[in-house]
Each structure stands twice: as C-alpha cells, then as structure tokens.
Structure 1
Amino acid sequence: MLNIFLITLAVLALLSIIFEEVTHLNKAKTTLFFGCVAWITLFVAARDPSHQHLIAEQLNENILEIATLWLFLMSTMTFVAYLNAKGMIQILVQKLFPQKVSVRMLMIQVALFSLVLSAICDNVTATLVSLGLLTTFQLESQMKRRMAVLIIFAVNSGGVALITGDVTTLMIFLGGHVHISQLLILFIPAAISVMLLAVLFSLKAEGHVSTTPIKRQYNKIDVLIALIFLTTIILTMVLNIFFGIPPVLTFLSGLSIMFLVGTTSRSNKEELQILEYIRQVEFDTLLFFLGILLLVGMLKEIGTLHLLTEVYAKFDPNISNFVTGIGSALLDNVPLTAALLKAEPVLTTPEWLGLTYSVGVGGSLLVIGSAAGIIAMSKVKELTFVTYLKYVPALTLCYSCGYGLTLLLAYKFFG
C-alpha cells in the first residue's frame, strides 16, 4: 500500500505538470510539494529508528545530488544572465549568424550550433546559451516553440558523443564499457537525426527573420567576463577528465572570479554590482528541478528503478536499450543509468553504444525528460508539457532513426 501511495504521488506530480494551464498552479510548486510529501511519508511509515536512519541517509544522499545540481545551475545561469543583460549573446549571434536569414536556414544553423556546443560543454550551459540565441531573433510564438524543441533534441543528441557532453555517457565510459574512440562514432547518427528534425520542422517554415539590433556598446569588462565564462567551461572539462574535479567546483571558482572582477572594475562610471545578476536567475527552474529530483529519489528508494533493471534483463538488449531511452523521458536518466550499471548486464560494445545513445537522447521525447527540457519549459513561455506533445511523433521518428544508425555503425565497426 505504501508503494502504491508513493507512486500515486509521483503520478499526481506528473498530472500537475500536464494540466498546469488548466489549474493555473505553478508546476515548480506542485512538484516540490509532492516531492516533500513523498519523503515525509517514507519517514512516517518507517518501522523503527534504524529504518528511519537508513531513510535519512538516502535523503541526505539525494539532497547532496540536488545541491550539487542547484549550485551548478546557479553559477551557470548567473554567467548567462550577465552576458545576456550586457548584450554579449546578441553580439555573438551577430558574429555567427547573418542579420537577416530565412527561417529554414536559421533552423539548421541553430540545430548545428546547439549540437556542437553540447558536445564540448555540459547540457545546462548549452541549453541556456542556445535559448539565449532565440531572444535575439524576432520570432513568432509557434516558431519560437519549435526552435526550443529543436534545441532540446540537439543539445541531448550532441552530448552523447563525448564524455564532456553528458553525465550518462561519462558514467558508461568510467565503467570501462566503451572507449572515447568508440563514442566518437555516435556523433554521426546524432548529427543526422538532428538535421532530420530540423528539416521536418522547416517544411512549413516560411519568410525571413532579423536579429534585434544592438543599441549599446560593450566594454572591456564584458569581454573579460565572457572570456572567464569560456575559460571556465574549458577548465571544467579538462580538470574533470584529468583530475576528477567535480564540474560544480570549477564553475563556482569561475563565478567567484567573476564576482572579484566585478567588484574591482568600473563600467560607465558605476561599480558593477555583478552579484545582483543572481537575482535574475529564475528560481522556478531550480524549484522544479528540486521537486523532480526528490520524486525520482523516492522512486529509487522504494525500488521502482531496480524493478526496471529486472525487466531490462528479460529482453533482447537492443530492444531493451531502445525502450530504456523512452523510459528516460519519464525518469531521470542518471539514476536510471546508474541502476542499470549496478545490475551489471553483459553487453557487447555495439549494445553499450546503443544504450549510451538511447539514455542520452531518449529524454527528449518528453519536455520533463531532460535538464534541457526543464530549463526550456521555464525559459520559453510558449513551451508547456501539452504543447510539447504535438512534437512527440517527429521526435520519436528522429530518435528511432538515430538509434537505428547507431546500431548499424556500431555493428559494422565493432561487431
């Protein structure tokens, strides 16, 4: 009965997200409420003090994961908020993109930009910067929503080919199941599937769009902070690969340097109050993450994820991997991948590559299935759970094509 009640809470949280437009209840608040109630229920239902202590340890572990993600998001979003406020992202767009471009060409350019960026830096940063591009173009609501969906799919796809791009890819690599040279081949199906989605989305796209003119000039301090941001991204990858330094520590270090530079420099005869840019970070995004991860942690605690690993082992690995990718659209792919790795399935190299692609890209099938989707839903008001559903057929087609190409190439070269 307890497990049924807890799973019901998770379902209610999902329904609150789906029907947000009907109930007018903020999804960040409802998911946080159900997440907290779920863990309180676990404590109340504990049989004895030793069981309560065990649940407390699991909660602390869950909160540590959440806190790490929160701090990482906060530091990344502060950088992006500053650069966006100073017009640096718009200037970057004007350097990379023509001032006037057809909507179809813009689709392809944005897809490629998001794909490549997510391969070399984390999904959160890639999503925030790519969404920042949308604000520089004068797009109608439907086109902005379509672009946001394309960015989500492209960001999740680009991350699978390199260990710097996606946590699940790094987990499978650190488990000794694939080599970097083998992972690189995933960029081919990832790129093809993203281009396919861009083409599908651009079929009915007509006309041209222009970038928003920049009215103010940037100064040296803005360029310096942009360089600090870029350096922080590069060092995050390098220090994590060679010394195992957690990305959050590197990004917080970069953020502290940003604060120090801001308090010792002046722009337009006024001291830069860079710390104030934290206020521009949308805490609804962080609260939504908190609620979702509390619920996923609860499902892990009651053994739901372990049950999924048992089901996984009963079918052909290639089929199981495909379905696991779809499942990662409902459950966070990190604990799902961790549960599968803990189960130690016996897979060949092509099957491990298939799993890497599926858990990395499958979360794109629902807007709540990945960090990129959750951030996009908070940043783009036109994008909701319900409006995202109309794109699921196209996303499923592209995901399936990418997965099929992954197996084709993996068996050809490593089979």
Structure 2
Amino acid sequence: MAAAAKLPIFLAVGLLFAPPAHAAEAPAVLGVPVEFILFALTLLGVALFHHHTLAVALSGLFTITLYKLLVTGFHAGSGLSGLFGHLQHEWVVLTNLLGLLLGFSLLSRHFEESHIPKILPRWLPDDWKGGFMLLVMVFVLSSFLDNIAAALIGGTVAASVFHRRVHIGYLAAIVAASNAGGSGSVVGDTTTTMMWIDGVNPVDVIHAYAAAIAALLFFGVFAARQQQAFAPIQKDASAGIRADWARVAIVVWILAAAIGTNVIVNTRYAEFSDAFPFLGAAVWIALLLAAPLRKPEWSLMPEAVKGSVFLLSLVLCASMMPVEKLPAASWQTAFGLGFISAVFDNIPLTALALKQGGYDWGGLAYAVGFGGSMIWFGSSAGVALSNLFPEARSVGAWLKSGWHVAVAYIIGFFVMLAVVGWHPHAPHKTTPAMQMNVQPH
C-alpha cells in the first residue's frame, strides 16, 4: 500500500480520538490534537521504514516530548518538572515491561532448545489437517509462551514441513493463531502482560478465548487448505531427537515465578505495586537462579534490547497522549479498536486504553491482540515473523491472501458478545473525570 493510501487511515485514527466539540480548546489540526498527529506520523514512519524502526520510534518520542515540553505540558505539570513527574509515574510499568520482554526472549530460546518444537511435527496429519493442527499448536503455545516466540516457533516448524514454501495467507494465520492464543493469557501477549502489570486481574482476560477459539476455527481451516493447495505438508520429523526436560523445567519455573509474584503482590501488597517493578525482577531472578542448570543464550540480548527499546518508545509516546479525550469505553469502541490496531501498533494502543480504563478487559484483549493480525506490522508477532519470511512485508498480499483473518476477527468478537457479554470494569488507575466516561453494563 502506498504512503498516500495509508495517510487517510492514520488521519482516521486521529479523528477517532478527536475531542468532542464542547471540549476545552487545545492545539489541534482539524479538531485532531497535535499529539495524536505526531504519534500517527511516527507509526506511519514505522510502517514505511521497517529497516529503521528504532530510529523512527526514538525520533517520534523526541518530537512528542519536545512538543509537550514547549506547548502543552504533561499530566504531572509543565516544563522539565512535568517531564520528570511523568517519568516518575511511568517508570515501574516501563521497567517491568523491559524486564519481561528481555526475560521472555531468553525463555523462548530455552523452550526452542528443549527440542520440543522439533518433536511436535511428529504428530501432524499428512493432509490439510496437519496445517490446521500446527496452527492449534501455535495457539496453545502462545497461551503460556510469549506470542512473538510462538509465532517464530510456528514459522520455523512451517518452514520445515512445507520446505520453505509457505503461503502468505498461512503466514497471516500463524500470526493470528499466536495473537489469538495469547489474548486470554497475561503471559501470552505483550498487550495482556501490560494489562497485568497495570493491575488488571489475570482472570478478567480469560474470556477472550470465547472469541479467540471461534476465530481460530474459521481462519484455521481456510488457511490450512490454502497452504495444502500451495505446498502440501512434508512431515520429516527428525529421528532420535529427545526433549531436554531440564530446559522445559526452566520454562515452567520462570513462568511460575512470574505468576506467583504477580498474585502475591496484587493480593497482599497491592499498595506497593506502583513502587517497584516486582514482576520484571522476579523473571530475572528466576532466570539467574536457573543459569547453573542451563546457561541462557546471552547473545540474544543486543537484538532483544533494540526491539524492547523500540516498543518502550512507542509505549512512552502513548502515555503522553491526551487520553481524557478518547471516546467512551464500550463494546463498540473496543470493536473499532481491533481494526485500528492493524495499523496503529497494538502496544501503544493498549497503553492508551489502560490510561483511559473502563473496558471489559477480555474484550479489549481480544480486539487489540487479534486485530493486529490483519496487517503484517499490526503486531509484534507479525513484524517478527516477517523477518523470517520477507515476502510477507506486503500489505496488499497480506490482505488479499489473509482475508480470512479479518472475517474471523468479526466472527470471534460477536461470538464473545453472545456467549459472555460485555462487562466493563471500573477504571482502576484513572482520574474522576475519566470515570464519567464509562458506560454501564
């Protein structure tokens, strides 16, 4: 898609977040706050210059910060004191997210080197159902493993069993399966992990699976048949490979440490949850304690740091948006955010929604998590998989071949509404003015 074609999409993002006519006047262009325009341009740069995403994100962060310093000020005040106050408010969330992103990259390599991904294909059927079962595996893996790792594992297995001839529609399905599988688990997706860090109860996102499973059943069948027609499955399970159960135990240990720490902090010491990055620290303590058993792959850190700084830059940009001007939290808004997340990276989009509060967190988790699958750069999993398969970096080809992902998103969302309903939670970290924005059940 050409830049000229993408620009209306990003302007639409800004218009969705535009303040109502009666709101107090603020610097705006055609009613769109300047902060949102700068943010949209940053994301447009990320989409267009995917070889320079870190530089674009940091440039956008610098520009937005400078604008806030010179023109509007921050939520904590104006000038440098306002900036320092803002950073003081955000540092725990950002540090927790950094610890989890880096820690999960090492956890993912532990899982990969456990040989479980190489053993899994032994049980795949030889027809289209084999491709479908691989998507189910990615879905399940993503429920307890980071969705980026699940997508990469699925892509690695697909490259093997399809001899590198992987249909773009099937690549879109791998990303969709990883995002769907992670949508109901606070350890399965960066967006749900952000909710968890921000104080959302893990139980409150589980019902996203009502939508995710329905979506998987739809796009999974179509994508598997696409792939079977394009390049039939060639099951070549390596004989003699055995699982490294020590590494499997390390993965379980790290996840248990993260989950246990979060439960203890939020149930017994909730008043301290904003004072220290307990969750990120727990993951790293568990990693280091397990190091004598199996050494982590430290060589992954330079690239992991670059990727983490990229995402944190977007999250910090999102934290400076005038979220009090967002539309009221409702199922209609969440449904729309799913489409927007395809072009408006779901990491900062989740940060904006968390700042506003008042959503049904399971509904939001499905919308922003799965919705990002509709275009290759709409989610971190899609960006990561496109590094393995550069041919996926075409919006037109992704939309044409992966049409079933967009249709599945709609089907899944309304199945969830019919089965579970919409149950918004009161804003847990918002101002009284924002609480008036929440619609009743």
State the alpha-carbon separation in 2 of the partners of residues 404 and 240 from structure 1. Answer: 31
2:45 aligned with 1:16, yes or no?
yes
Mapped partners of 1:411, 1:46: distance in 2: 39
Is the CA contact (8 Å cut-off) linking 1:117 and 1:158 kept in structure 2?
A: yes
The alpha carbon displacement at 1:194 in A equals 0.9
Answer yes or no: is 1:231 the counterpart of 2:253: yes
Pairwise CA distance, 1:208: 3.0
Partner of 1:158: 181
**Measured at CA, do residues 129 and 259 of structure 1 come closer, stay the same or move farther in structure 2, by a change above 3 Å?**
same
Structure 2 Cα separation of the partners of residues 385 and 321 of structure 1: 26
Distance in structure 1 (CA, Å) of the matches to 2:312 and 2:28? 18
CA drift of 1:6 comes to 4.7
TM-score with structure 1 length normalisation? 0.73
- CA separation of 1:327 and 1:404: change in aligned 2, threshold 3 A: same
Unaligned runs of 5+ in 1: 263-273, 346-350
Q: Which residue of 1 aligns with 2:371?
A: 362
AA of the residue aligned to 2:142: S
**2:84 and 2:214 mapped to 1: Cα distance?**
46
1:202/1:218 Cα in 2 relative to 1: closer, same or farther (>3 Å)? closer
Residues 382-403 of structure 1 show CA distances to partners (whole Å, capped at 9, x for unaligned) of 3326354445632221000001
User: Alpha-carbon deviations, 1:345-384, whole Å to 9, x = none?
Assistant: 7xxxxx6654453244323333343343343344543332
Q: Secondary structure at the match of 2:233?
A: strand
CA contact (8 A) 1:137 1:211 kept: yes
Structure 1 residues 195-222: Cα deviation after superposition (integer angstroms, max 9, x where no partner): 2111121333334333566599669xx5
| Matching of residues 130-279 of structure 1 within 5 Å | 130-143=154-167, 145-165=168-188, 180=203, 185-205=207-227, 206=229, 207-210=231-234, 214=238, 222-244=244-266, 246-262=278-294, 274=295, 277-279=297-299
CA distance in 2, matches of 1:327, 1:107: 29
Residue 339 of structure 1 corresponds to which residue in structure 2? Answer: 355
User: 1:74, 1:278 within 8 Å by CA — same for their partners in 2?
Assistant: no
Structure 1 distance, partners of 2:362, 2:245, is: 40
CA distance in 2, matches of 1:255, 1:72: 11
Residues 11-20 or 391-400, more deviating: 11-20
Deviations 1:174-233 (A, max 9, x none): 9999994x86554343212112111121333334333566599669xx542332123222
| Per-residue deviation, 1:172 | 7.5
Following superposition, the deviation at residue 93 of structure 1 comes to 3.5
Q: Which has the higher mean CA deviation after the structures are superposed, 105-114 or 398-407? A: 105-114
What root-mean-square deviation, in Å, do the aligned CA atoms of Structure 1 and Structure 2 show?
Answer: 4.1
Alignment of 1:68-83 (within 5 A): 68-81=96-109
Q: Within 2, Cα distance between the matches of 1:69 and 1:177?
A: 15
SS of equivalent to 1:312: coil
CA distance, structure 2, for counterparts of residue 115 and residue 168 of structure 1: 16
Compute the displacement of 1:77 (Å): 1.7
Q: Is the 8 A contact 1:101 1:210 kept in 2?
A: no
**Letter paired with 1:404:** F
Aligned residue pairs total 378
- Structure 2 residue aligned with 1:290: 309
Q: 1:218 to 1:102 in 2, by over 3 A?
A: closer
Quickly say closer, same or farther: Cα 1:299–1:78, change in 2 above 3 A. closer
**CA 1:215–1:281 in structure 2 vs 1: closer, same or farther (change >3 Å)?**
farther
Distance 1:280 1:113 in 2: 25
Determine if contact 1:324/1:358 at 8 Å carries over to the other structure.
Answer: yes
1-structure distance, mates of 2:154, 2:278:
24
Structure 2 partner of 1:108: 132
C-alpha distance in structure 1 between counterparts of 2:211 and 2:354, whole Å: 24
Paired with 1:43 and 1:216, the residues of 2 have a C-alpha distance of 62
> How far 1:8 moved relative to its partner?
4.5
List runs of 5+ in structure 2 lacking aligned partners: 1-25, 267-276, 424-440
- What is the SS of the residue equivalent to 1:208? coil
Change (3 A) 1:368 1:241: farther
Give the match for residue 300 of structure 2. 280
Change (3 A) 1:248 1:300: closer
Q: AA paired with 1:55?
A: L
Q: Distance in 2 between matches of 1:96 and 1:47?
A: 53
Change in CA separation of 1:130 and 1:214 when aligned onto 2, cut-off 3 Å: same
1:66–1:290 contact (8 Å) kept in structure 2: no
Mapped contact 1:32–1:287 kept (Cα < 8 A):
no
Residue 36 of structure 1, CA deviation: 3.1
Residues 64 and 20 of structure 1: is their aligned pair in 2 closer, same or farther, counting only changes over 3 Å? same
1:62 and 1:288 map into 2 onto residues whose CA distance is 19
Contact 2:183-2:205 within 8 A present in 1 as well? yes
Deviation at 1:338, TM superposition (A): 1.0
Q: What displacement does 1:154 show?
A: 1.8
Cα 1:38–1:175 shift into 2, 3 Å: closer
Q: Deviations over 1:240-287 (max 9, x none)?
A: 23444944233212321343234xxxxxxxxxxx45x2223561x643
Question: Relative to structure 1, is the Cα distance of residues 192 and 112 closer, same or farther in structure 2, using a 3 angstrom cutoff?
Answer: same
Quote the residue 2:325 is aligned against: 307
Offset of residue 142 of structure 1: 4.0
Question: 1:95-117 CA distances to partner (integer Å, 9 max, x unpaired)?
Answer: 33227754622321122112222
Deviation at 1:169, TM superposition (A): 5.7
Distance in structure 2 (CA, Å) of the matches to 1:319 and 1:46: 30
What amino acid is aligned across from residue 53 of structure 1 in structure 2?
Answer: S
Q: Which amino acid aligns with 2:214?
A: I
Contact 1:193 1:402 in 2 (8 A): yes
- Specify the alignment match of 1:271 in structure 2: none
